[in-house]
Amino acid sequence: MADRDHPYRPEMTDARLAPTAAVEVLDESGAARRVEIAGEAPLTLFVDGREIVTLMTLGGQPEALALGYLRTQRFVQKIEQIRSVRVDWERESVQITTHGGVDGWEEKLAKRTVTTGCGQGTVFSCTIDSLYAQPLPAATLRQSTLYGLLGALKDFNAIYRSAGAVHGCALCSGTRVLQFVEDVGRHNAADAIAGYMWLERITGADKIFYTTGRLTSEIVMKVALMGIPVLLSRSGVTQMGLELARDLGVTMIARAKGRHFLVFNGAASLRWDARPAPQEASAQGTYSRAAGE
């Protein structure tokens, strides 16, 4: 039985794959070289025997990915509903078994939207319907904290440095990186973070979500559903992503690298305690695209 000291966890496999593989290539001089490339494998998610979706993934945290997908798509409301999560790479599947089934499958699966997520993401109508159910908490973020976090994040991205071709997402508290996940798509990495938070009973109210990828409406949705009020990226922003961030009250900071960043939404939540302050930046001219990146 679950209690405060030993919260409930489903029965789970630990079926992670190696994230990279070595291959032989020729460089620009015709010399043979051995390099690492990112892995990619299909993982079809079944809930109580019903096929839901096929995800393309590195396979580094397949159980957390499956749980996070169910959480951010709002198929399952509480982790206590899930009996087991079993990954079988020979069958390229993850079988999720619940305790009492899931109500309203037909309604939940009735409408789906293919998004711009790497490898094409999917958002179901039940996800969109629940976006406004729980307002996000007000955020306060110090400029110095932002700089410290960007410095700390330099120690991660190990798979990207080795093989490229992946995105990374991180759950952060202040300048600390609590969990960093890399996958072939940023939406997969985000879902794995959501699954990790679910398993560890971590709330999002005082957290920052970081991604190496662009901030689309899909990523804003996932972060809002995790209850995280601050979204940070080294990449850019889409128009629909920005509109949704404004609507939901997500502080959106992008093109963040080194000591450069652009605040697209939620400027009132930022405390300018490190130079240059806004008026000094204005005196130096506006950020160029290169500076923002």
* Residue ranges per structural domain of the chain: 11-23+33-129, 141-292
Secondary structure class of 228 (helix, strand, coil): coil
pLDDT at 67 over 90: yes
Confidence of residue 275 (pLDDT cuts 50, 70, 90): low
Residue 14's pLDDT is what? 96
How far is 166 from 154, CA to CA, in rounded Å?
Answer: 15
- How far from 107 is each of 19, 45, 80, 289, CA to CA, in Å? 36, 18, 22, 44
Q: Is the dihedral of CA 262, 173, 250, 154 positive or negative?
A: positive
Q: Which of 114-118, 163-167, 266-270 has the highest mean pLDDT?
A: 266-270
* CATH of region 141-292, choose from 3.40.50.2000, 3.30.465.10, 3.60.40.10, 3.40.140.10: 3.40.140.10
CATH of domain 11-23+33-129: 3.10.20.10
Contact between 226 and 248 (Cβ < 8 Å): no
Contacts of 226 (CB under 8 A, 6+ apart): 72, 193, 194, 197, 204, 209
Contact between 45 and 56 (Cβ < 8 Å): no
Residue 200's pLDDT is what? 94
Instruction: State the pairing for strand pair 260-265/251-257.
Output: antiparallel
Per DSSP, 93 falls in state E
Calculate the average pLDDT of the chain. Answer: 85
Q: How do residues 216-272 score in pLDDT, each as one tens digit?
A: 988 999 999 999 999 999 999 999 899 999 999 999 999 999 899 999 999 999 999
Residue 161's pLDDT is what? 85
pLDDT at 277 over 60: no
pLDDT at 131 over 90: no
How far is 212 from 216, CA to CA, in rounded Å?
Answer: 12
Residue 164's pLDDT is what? 83
Burial of 34 (0-12, 13-18, 19+ CB in 10 A): exposed
Secondary structure class of 54 (helix, strand, coil): strand
